[in-house]
Structure 1
Amino acid sequence: MADHLSRLENSNIKELDEVEINDSFSEEQFFAISDLEVPWFADIANFLAANIIPKGLTHQQKKRFINDVKNYFWDDPFLFRRCENQVIRRCVTRSETSKILEHCHSGPTGGHYSGTKTAHKILESGFYWPSLFKDANRYITSCDKFQRTGNISKRDKMPQNYMLLCEIFDVWGIDFMGPFPSSVENKYILVAVD
């Protein structure tokens, strides 16, 4: 295929031959990509995918790392964690957390609840990251609507109506039905309500 494509006739070939390719770089240095985020679970994913243990760990840290990795499994392209209640949740990167927090707190089904309740909604949605509860509490402190709402006071509560108290047999009823076809020699039903 490549040989065939290279032999196709191009009417603009003469114009391309006249343009020289500039091989010089305007900058002599290459800069590292700063926007590339390394997820918090990179070491875990590397261990599960390629059996690579992070360098620089002591013997105890290696044992703890291997013990912690038992709760995770890799299903390309996602990493999942089996939590204490045996529910499987997807591990998310730092860049995804802000959108998840916004949706579970301020979204149409959010409700502007407290940090703990927002964190539980995130867990119910099937997401996980290690600093979930801290991030949820930090997020609600920056939510203007939540801060203005505050706690429910007595003036927000609905008025309660008093129950009507009755003496025994003040309100009672009896219902008598039958005869029905015999069922274990019983033909009638008597219901008494106090």
Structure 2
Amino acid sequence: MREENQRVVSLAKLATDEDHSPSMGLYKILLTSPSVTPLTEPASEILVLSYDPNWITPIYLYLQEGILPQTKRVAQLLRSKAAHSTIVDDTLYRRSFLAPLLKCVDCAWADYCMLEVHGGKCGSLSSGEALAHKIIRQGYYWPTLRKDCLNYIKTCAKCQFHASVPRLPPVFPTAILSPIPFDVWGMDIM
């Protein structure tokens, strides 16, 4: 059974009211009172949804609403990054010269993309550069794509086990100089 099925199993246990693993990110809250109150009663509880800002947020806010940072240098960098981006159906995409629009993803999606493309259904346990190219061909982008792919390959146990071992000599061959002809005889055995 694959790792992704553990979340489904936890959801099934949650529905049947069995114990579930809190490490999977599933939490059950028992509400003792209705979460929605009629308009005639004063609201006793207000639910505030917050989001985790990431690298996508400033570019999205600039393209959608024209909001720039206060610092002139940071605003200039943001404008140059936003020049390569566009918003389609409330999703940020990066324009590419050789590929179609690339969907911009955050860190959690980036880890999932690397996992699936490297070892999942698309996987072939390839190198870091090849992994980055495959992710781009699948249509995803994040700023540290190449660096993250190289680091991911370094931490993959299967890649480290099956990697080719470099067979280089410990030192480069050097020429032997002889003051008298035929003083030293040498033979290279290959």
For residues 125-151 of structure 1, what are the alpha-carbon distances to aligned partners after superposition, in whole Å with 9 as ceiling and x for unaligned? 000000001111111111111110112
Give structure 2 stretches of 5+ with no counterpart.
1-42, 168-190
Distance 1:46 1:148, change over 3 A: same
Distance 1:79 1:115 in 2: 25
Q: Is the 8 A contact 2:99 2:137 kept in 1?
A: no
Q: Is the 8 A contact 2:102 2:141 kept in 1?
A: yes
State the partner residue of 1:92.
Answer: 105
State the partner residue of 2:69.
Answer: 54
Structure with higher Rg: it is 1
Distance 2:62 2:142 in 1: 18
For residues 56-113 of structure 1, what are the alpha-carbon distances to aligned partners after superposition, in whole Å with 9 as ceiling and x for unaligned? x22x443332232121111233100102436310000111111100011011221100
State the partner residue of 1:37.
Answer: 52
Give structure 1 stretches of 5+ with no counterpart.
1-22, 26-31, 155-194
Distance 1:61 1:54, change over 3 A: closer
Residue 77 (structure 1) aligned with residue 90 (structure 2): yes
Distance 1:79 1:134, change over 3 A: same
Say what the alpha-carbon RMSD is for the aligned residues: 2.8
State the partner residue of 1:116.
Answer: 129
State the partner residue of 1:66.
Answer: 79
Identity percentage of aligned residues: 28
More off after superposition, 61-70 vs 132-141: 61-70
State the partner residue of 2:23.
Answer: none
When you count strand as a share of all residues, which structure comes out higher? 1
State the partner residue of 2:143.
Answer: 130
Distance 2:87 2:97 in 1: 18
> Cα offset for 1:24?
9.9
1:139 maps to a residue whose letter is: Y
Count of residues in Structure 1 that have an aligned counterpart in Structure 2? 125
